[in-house]
């Protein structure tokens, strides 16, 4: 099983609302890291339903003062992480893990295009500040549903000025992704963080333009999927298991709860480490990953257990794990 690094003690120093549903958290770690680079994130143990659960949040700003800042969008229909974070009060102790970076910014490129949608501005904000400091050639295009949803807008406008352009959906404004990519220097890089639709569109246009895959970097904050979260059941014939997956828990978490030894990494549907094969599905599979292509998702051959789920009914899946340590009485043998 992939595990985070050693836990670090911390406390919540202060909070500040950036928008009606985005809150900035200032976290003071016992041992600040010198390894914070643009695109870094920290894992936080968030109290959800009376138990600590791991959630990842991008770091906002350079953090040179020894504080870690994260921005959390409150999502009532999510898996409880944002609600748990919003319940925290200044002064409360936290358990976090050392910053890591799976969305690294490369320096020295002739041109950069940064695309952000909604709360996806959090890593992009830090990248923009870093590129401005090095006097790089870049543009930041920031889309949101309404003007009140543009978190960090004033700070960005002050720091990077005319390099920044806003796109407000309620005012009929949309980013012309194809046109913007066409303007980018052939040796330039595209960085994207935003909703699933934005990321998929950027990946498709980039591929159709014949641009090198290595010059496209992206991160997602989640895909809500085509269906609302609902409970479903999974069967694992190899292990003789049936496991109920509640609406508020991921398939990966349910497997872990049942003692199935899983391999995982990002928990955001990006890395593919937690992928398992689908043997049979009684309902539509709601793929919410960015690891597979659209064509691969359509085959329903595999799914990312950290984010994808069934719309209802049951899934029969396979796993290389041949042993288990039952943890919950709901586990029952397949009949």
| Mean pLDDT, the chain, integer | 88
pLDDT computed for residue 78 by the predictor: 58
Task: Encode pLDDT of 104-140 as tens digits.
Answer: 999 999 999 999 999 999 999 999 999 999 999 999 9
Regarding whether 197 and 279 lie in a shared domain, the answer is no
Q: Which residues pair with 96 in a beta bridge?
A: 8, 44
CATH number at residue 61: 2.40.30.10
Q: Domain boundary at 169, 196, 220, which?
A: 220
**Residues 55/123, Cβ–Cβ less than 8 Å:** no
Average pLDDT score over residue span 186-214 = 94
pLDDT at 4 over 70: no
Q: Are strands 51-58 and 40-48 parallel, antiparallel or unpaired?
A: antiparallel
Indicate the residue among 78, 101, 124 that finishes a domain: 101
Burial grade of 227 (CB within 10 A; 0-12, 13-18, 19 or more): middle
Q: Which two tokens stand for residue 261?
A: 């030894």
pLDDT surpasses 80 at 329 = no
pTM summary value: 0.76
Query: Of 101, 122, 141, which residue sits at a domain end?
Result: 101
* pLDDT 10s digits, 239-272: 999 999 988 788 998 998 899 988 887 777 878 8
Note whether 212 and 129 are same-domain residues.
yes
Residue 246 lies in a domain: yes
Residue 221: its pLDDT value, please? 64
Q: What is the mean pLDDT of residues 84-111?
A: 94
Note whether residue 156 is domain-resident.
yes
Residue 146 covered by a domain: yes
Does a structural domain hold residue 58?
Answer: yes
> Is 143 contained in some domain?
yes
Beta strands in the chain (DSSP E): 7-19, 22-29, 40-48, 51-58, 68-73, 93-97, 100-101, 112-117, 138-144, 164-168, 189-194, 216-220, 232-236, 241-245, 275-281, 285-286, 302-304, 309-310, 314-317
How far is the C-alpha of 223 from the C-alpha of 25, rounded, in Å? Answer: 23
pLDDT value for 80: 63
Given pLDDT bands bounded at 50, 70 and 90, which one contains residue 232? very high
Residue 97 sits in the same domain as residue 119? no
More confident residue, 6 or 45: 45
The rounded distance, in Å, linking the Cα atoms of 109 and 136 is: 8
Considering the domain boundaries, does residue 87 fall inside one? yes
Residues spanned by the domain of 124? 112-220
Q: How many structural domains comprise the chain?
A: 3
Assess if residue 107 is contained within a domain. Answer: no
* CATH of residue 143: 3.40.50.80
CATH at residue 249: 3.10.20.30
Look at residue 271 and tell me if it is in a domain.
yes
Q: Is it the case that residue 228 has pLDDT exceeding 80?
A: no
Widest CA span of the chain, in angstroms? 65
Same structural domain for residues 148 and 62? no
Query: Is the confidence at residue 1, as pLDDT, over 90?
Result: no
> 3-state SS of the chain: helix, strand, coil percent to 5?
25, 35, 45
């Amino acid at each position: 099983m992939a595990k985070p690094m050693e836990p670090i003690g911390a406390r919540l120093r202060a909070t500040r609302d950036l928008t009606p549903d985005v809150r900035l958290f200032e976290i003071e770690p016992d041992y600040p890291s010198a390894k914070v680079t643009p695109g870094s994130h920290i894992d936080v143990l968030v109290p959800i339903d009376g138990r600590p659960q791991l959630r990842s949040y991008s770091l906002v700003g350079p953090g040179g003062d020894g504080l870690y800042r994260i921005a959390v969008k409150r999502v009532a229909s999510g898996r409880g992480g944002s609600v748990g974070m919003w319940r925290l009060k200044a002064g409360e102790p936290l358990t976090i893990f050392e910053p890591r970076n799976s969305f690294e910014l490369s320096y020295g490129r002739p041109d950069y295009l940064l695309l952000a949608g909604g709360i996806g501005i959090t890593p992009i904000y830090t990248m923009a500040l870093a590129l401005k400091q090095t006097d790089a050639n870049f543009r930041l295009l920031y889309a949101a549903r309404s003007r009140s949803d543009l978190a960090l807008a004033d700070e960005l406008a002050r720091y990077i000025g005319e390099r920044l352009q806003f796109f407000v959906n309620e005012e009929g404004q949309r980013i012309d992704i194809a046109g913007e990519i066409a303007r980018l220097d052939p040796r330039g890089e595209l960085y994207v963080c935003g909703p699933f639709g934005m990321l998929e569109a950027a990946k498709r246009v980039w591929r159709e333009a014949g641009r090198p895959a290595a010059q496209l970097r992206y991160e997602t904050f989640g895909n809500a999927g085509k269906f609302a979260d609902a409970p479903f059941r999974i069967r694992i014939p190899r292990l003789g298991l049936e496991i109920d997956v509640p609406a508020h828990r991921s398939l990966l978490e349910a497997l872990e709860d049942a003692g199935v030894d899983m391999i995982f990494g990002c928990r955001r549907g990006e890395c593919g480490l937690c992928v398992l094969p689908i043997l049979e599905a009684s309902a539509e599979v709601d793929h919410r990953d960015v690891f597979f292509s659209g064509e691969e998702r359509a085959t329903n051959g595999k799914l990312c257990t950290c984010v994808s789920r069934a719309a209802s009914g049951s899934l029969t899946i396979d796993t290389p794990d041949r042993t288990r340590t039952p943890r919950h009485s709901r586990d029952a043998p397949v009949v």
